[in-house]
A and B are shown apart, each in its own frame.
Chain A
């Protein structure tokens, strides 16, 4: 990446600039691919951009950074995403 030689504070783009924000989660979105109708609502509404849109318009969730807000589950009209408490998964 090009770095600039100027006398001011410059930040450079980085994934996880605030760390692994997946650790913020209390609830984890669980996707049932058999129910998904590829409408992409979860993808467009996810505030963090952590619903990954695949080439064939199926979706996956990036658990490293997903903050667990539950918006994806809430906007899915066929209930293909459910929120489960993190602790229960361990």
Chain B
């Protein structure tokens, strides 16, 4: 789908509370374009609950139910059941949560909904931090990154949520990135037409959280993919297909760029470059990334 063919209709109304350069609203515009107005969103505590803007107004032109931090998928299950009872089974139910609400606090509700085969799309916009509360580490924060709770840089590697999701053997799961709107749109369209639980995770580089200039959100997402820090793929009934540059990296048709090129542009990694380059920790990140891709190759090639 070329950019020109993406629908003009918008459900994200200008004048929201999002930071300038926000990846969440960038992704939401595409989500609304792909899913259309016959959609109900369930949003737990996260930046998006703020981005919706202040009572009595909202910047979202679709029905949204706000719910407790850990409860997005449980709430969506209830909404889906209620709509079905009312004969509105054609309405798309979306749970939309941050990585904190997905990898950590909401994982139990999410796993339950996937296991119960709830007919909904769970979307995680992954900005690799708890940004709404001022940048704390999450299970999605990469090794070495500064957050307010990892002041010297995170000492653990990030979780592989994709693999946890795959263990539920749901009909459709995908990883996308805000920088590739056509790919994201196609994945959402596909998910919309499949019955049962669907999971889509969107890489969402956050300017204040990652400490980069607000004009660079798209660049940071492209670099995440080209360095192999993030992979674009979809998993349909347990068959995994890599997409775009990630496919070329998987098949070793191109080499991934060094992670250093991506992290040196983000203030959250500046302690790895100043006052002196931390060669050891940068190598740890590169090696870990290589290991992930080696695992992908063994499993999916």
Contact = CB atoms under 8 A, between A and B. Distances in A.
A47 B21 contact: yes
B275 interface: no
A44 B13 CA distance: 14
Interface in A12-28: 12-21, 24
Contacts of A65: 14-15
A47 B56 contact: no
Contact of A17 (B25, B30, B59): B59
Nearest to A83: B215
Given A12-B56, A47-B20, A47-B21, A70 B13 contact: no
Given A47-B20, A71-B21, A15 B14 contact: yes
A69 interface: yes
B115 interface: no
Interface of B: 3-4, 6, 8, 10, 12-18, 20-23, 25-26, 29-30, 52-61, 181, 213-219
A55 to B, nearest CB: 9
Interface of A: 9-21, 24, 39-41, 43-50, 53, 57, 62, 64-65, 67-71, 73-75, 83
A18 B214 contact: no
A68 B29 contact: no
A88 B20 CA distance: 21
B4 A40 contact: yes
A1 to B, nearest CB: 11
Given A20-B15, A71-B21, A12 B57 contact: yes
B56 to A, nearest CB: 5
Contacts of A47: 18, 20-23, 25-26, 29, 217
Contact of A15 (B15, B181, B216, B218): B15
A49 B181 contact: no
Given A13-B57, A74-B218, 11 more contacts: A11-B58, A17-B54, A24-B20, A40-B3, A44-B29, A44-B181, A47-B20, A48-B18, A48-B25, A69-B21, A71-B21
B133 to A, nearest CB: 19
B214 A71 contact: yes
Contacts of A48: 14-16, 18, 20, 25
Contacts of B23: 47
